[in-house]
């Protein structure tokens, strides 16, 4: 069994990725790490180390301490937060990647997963069924850092033989972790507010269509791309990945199927400009062809699953 280190394990994707990797590879083979200890229950659930993604020596020491084979680098500032702190966002998103790529180049890591995003596309990209290869002029700090990171991943693979694999995540929706400063996070918050208040004020306009995915699908895709034979991974920048796309109006209608009294109002803020720069739907044919990707959740099944789990959480609180 490989020894796996997750950097940024306490984040929106990291917490669920840690749980699923431990279920598949064994708790003791999956070391969670983050810049600080957050949820005590999560920290106590298996091997945990305090690792700053910007500290090369801390990462190297942790890799040597546990004999790590694979690293999932999940630490980053997301789109909305990055716009408020461009310098730190660039530093964190880029230098954490260089640390892990250089450790792999030195032979200390066998395989890397690094998350990209549909944020690599910009206002000049075709918005419908956005292809794997197309115009990419991101207009956000987050998107610029992800586009640059993709270029470095491909360079380190081609020049130094580093086995780094990447996915362009759409907006991700999960019941078990709070939103993390993303523009798509209205689609997480709306479920909580629907159950808590019966109403929600959305920071995007009702017709804002964005590519989205349920976290269960995103976690499965992440593990599947890492399990795929190296020869099947033909794209070493990052793969487009898709499941569904919807607008705030459409997710509201899906929620109203179970909560007919739920209402929404709209007060677009600075995140509207970010969302308007992104695609509305994604073509992920390459991922489906190269390593067999297939999504399972659509808006209706995600909504049912979200509301079931959130009701359970609130019942147990
Ligand atoms: C964000 N959830 O909103 C992230 C994602 C496509 C968006 O990368 O920043």
Domains of the chain (ranges, CATH numbers): 4-170+215-240 (3.40.50.720), 172-212+244-279+297-316 (3.90.25)
d(CA 171, ligand 1 centre) in Å: 5
d(CA 61, ligand 1 centre) in Å: 31
Out of 11, 169, 178, mutate this one to test ligand 1's pocket (max ligand atoms within 8 Å of CB): namely: 169
Question: CB count, 10 Å around CB of 168?
Answer: 26
Out of 76, 139, 184, 210, mutate this one to test ligand 1's pocket (max ligand atoms within 8 Å of CB): namely: 184
Q: What is the mean pLDDT of the chain?
A: 96
> Is 238 in contact with 284 (CB distance < 8 Å)?
no
Q: What is the pLDDT of residues 74-120, one digit of tens each?
A: 999 999 999 999 999 999 999 999 999 999 999 999 999 999 999 99
Q: Rounded to whole angstroms, how far apart are CA atoms 292 and 285?
A: 10
Q: What is the pLDDT of residues 277-317, one digit of tens each?
A: 999 999 999 999 999 999 999 999 999 999 999 999 888 87
d(CA 180, ligand 1 centre) in Å: 9
Please state the atom number of ligand 1 nearest to the C-alpha of residue 170: 6
- Which positions ≥6 away from 101 have C-beta within 8 Å? 112, 152, 153, 156, 162, 164
Q: Which residue has the tokens 């995003």?
A: 117
- The residues carrying an active-site annotation are 142
Entry pTM: 0.96
The sheet with strand 210-214 has its strands ordered as: 171-173, 210-214, 244-246
Please give the average per-residue pLDDT across 194-204, as a whole number. 96
């Amino acid at each position: 069994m490989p020894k796996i280190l997750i950097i940024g394990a306490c984040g929106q994707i990291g917490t669920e990725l840690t749980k699923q990797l431990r279920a598949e590879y064994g708790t003791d083979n999956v070391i969670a790490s983050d810049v600080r200890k957050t949820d005590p229950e999560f920290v106590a659930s298996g091997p945990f180390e305090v690792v700053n993604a910007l500290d090369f020596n801390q990462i190297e020491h942790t890799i040597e301490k546990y004999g790590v084979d694979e690293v999932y680098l999940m630490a980053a500032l997301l789109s909305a937060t990055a716009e408020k702190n461009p310098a730190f966002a660039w530093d964190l998103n880029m230098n954490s990647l260089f640390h892990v790529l250089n450790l792999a180049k030195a032979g200390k890591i066998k395989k890397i997963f690094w998350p990209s995003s549909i944020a690599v596309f910009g206002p000049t990209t075709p918005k419908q069924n956005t292809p794997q290869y197309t115009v990419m002029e991101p207009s956000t700090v987050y998107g610029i850092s992800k586009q640059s990171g993709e270029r470095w991943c491909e360079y380190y693979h081609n020049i130094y033989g580093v086995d780094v694999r990447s996915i362009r995540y759409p907006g991700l929706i999960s019941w078990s972790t709070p939103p993390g400063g993303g523009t798509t996070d209205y689609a997480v918050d709306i479920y909580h507010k629907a159950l808590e208040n019966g109403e929600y004020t959305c920071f995007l306009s009702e017709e804002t269509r964005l590519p989205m995915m349920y976290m269960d699908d995103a976690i499965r895709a992440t593990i599947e791309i890492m399990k795929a034979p190296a020869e099947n991974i033909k794209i070493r920048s990052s793969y487009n990945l898709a499941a569904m796309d919807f607008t705030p109006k459409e997710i509201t209608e899906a929620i109203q199927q179970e909560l007919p009294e739920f209402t929404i109002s709209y007060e677009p803020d600075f995140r509207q400009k970010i969302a308007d720069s992104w695609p509305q739907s994604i073509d992920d044919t390459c991922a489906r062809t190269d390593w067999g990707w297939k999504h399972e959740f659509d808006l209706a099944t995600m909504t049912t699953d979200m509301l079931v789990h959130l009701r359970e959480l609130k019942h147990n609180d």
